[in-house]
Amino acid sequence: MEAALLGFKEVPDLEDDAKSSHSRKLVPWLNWNEWLFVRDALFSDSHQSLSSALKRISSWRSRGSLPVLIDVTASIVEIQHMDPFFRQDQLNDGAGSVSEEVLANLYCMAIVRLVNGAVEKTRKKELVSIAVAAEEIGIPRMLIDIRHEGSHRELPSLKVVRSASTKALDWLKSYYWEPQSKAIPFQGEGNANVKKEIKSWIRELAICLKVSGSPKSSASLPKGKRPKKQITKILKSVLRLYSSFSSEIVSVLLNYLLKSLSSSEFKKNVDDACIGPAIENVLADWKPIILKLYNKEPELLLNLLKEVLHMIETQADIKCGEGRH
């Protein structure tokens, strides 16, 4: 497993070379919902969706451990987006256009990376050639030939590499994106049921702590008493689910923390001068709970931070999109 800064554990990943189909590795996306958003947006006809996907992948690159097939997909899609051949709105607009030579170079480099990167994961080094290994995993012969020509001979023509880019995306969809979509665990009804269970446990925990922000929820609890046994039971249930659903738990937990901070009582009793201590007081009831979870799952705090950053990025994307209209 390659060490990475700000990576997240997800299962399974089709690019992992390990024997187990459920081996764990670091990935840069926060959860599979984010991955699915990028998949849909990458192959969308919407310029805004594509821009959002490319921006998200750029963030993934900065975190490290970005699978090469995702990186190459983004590169090819972005090159096609610059190519007037694929952009009807640019046919009569020469401003800012990229030269044919530059486009051919970009396409060729992306295809070389695709073949080399895909083969790197599968072939036994020095036992078979890259061309043979590439054919074994179904890479079209055209891409293999372009990789050879671009690496050892003259650069193929723009017409050739442009056509190859379409074949490359088709192969990437069939080899990585579609199988990975099907391999995502607990999608559909099963995933919905687990999310419902997680929300139920966290909501019950919030009621026990009397910080849910709902007067009706806390009214039924005797003043000054906290059902410690109930809290312990809930924490055990949450920890049981954490190993497989860390992102869902982090998301729901953060939602309740933010709900506490956005309560009308908090806003009424705080001003800018004392917002720091006020936040600490509001979250004081949650602190021992977070620490107990952190002691069992040390990555919790990092994941909470990354969820906050993800929310900020999403809000920034929305504002940026609104600014264009």
Give this prediction's pTM.
Answer: 0.62
Measuring CA to CA, how many Å separate 114 from each of 53, 68, 110, 178, 277? 19, 8, 6, 17, 52
Can you tell me the mean pLDDT for 267-279? 56
**Domain assignment present for 289:** yes
Q: Looking at the structure, tell me whether residues 12 and 158 fall in a common domain.
A: yes
Residues 179 and 194 in one domain: no
User: Buried (b) or exposed (e) across 1-31, using 16+ Cβ within 10 A?
Assistant: eeeeebbbebbbbebbeeeeeeeebbbbbbb
Q: How many domains does the chain have?
A: 2
Q: Are residues 226 and 303 in the same domain?
A: yes
Judge whether residue 79 has pLDDT over 90. Answer: yes
Query: Of all residues in the chain, what percent carry a pLDDT higher than 70?
Result: 72
Tell me if 3 is assigned to some domain: no
Identify whether 14 is part of a domain: yes
- Residues 156 and 24 grouped into a single domain: yes
pLDDT of residue 275: 56
Last residue of a domain, one of 183, 204, 235: 183
Residues 30 and 116 in one domain: yes
Model confidence at 152, pLDDT cuts 50, 70, 90, reads: confident
Q: Do 261 and 163 share a structural domain?
A: no
Q: d(Cα 10, Cα 182) in Å, to the nearest integer? A: 14
Query: Which helix or strand (DSSP H or E) is residue 27 part of?
Result: strand 25-27
Same domain assignment for residues 247 and 115: no
Last residue of a domain, one of 134, 167, 183: 183
Q: How confident is the model at residue 193 (pLDDT cuts 50, 70, 90)?
A: confident
For the segment 294-309, the average pLDDT, to the nearest whole number, is 85
Last residue of a domain, one of 183, 204, 231: 183
pLDDT mean over 23-43? 83
Same domain, 84 and 150: yes
Residues 257, 286: contact at Cβ < 8 Å? yes
Residue 1 domain-assigned (yes or no): no
For residues 228 and 203, state if they share a domain. yes
Most confident of 135-139, 251-255, 313-317: 135-139
pLDDT above 50 for 115 = yes
Averaged pLDDT of the chain: 78
Residue 2 within a domain: no
- Residue 40: the pLDDT is 94
Most trustworthy range by pLDDT among 39-43, 89-93, 252-256: 39-43
Shared domain check, 35 and 156:
yes
Helix H or strand E encompassing 228 = helix 228-261
Residues 86 and 210 in one domain: no
What is the arithmetic mean of pLDDT over 69-73? 97
Place of tokens 């709900």: 259
Boundaries of domain holding 179: 8-183
Residues 72 and 200 in one domain: no
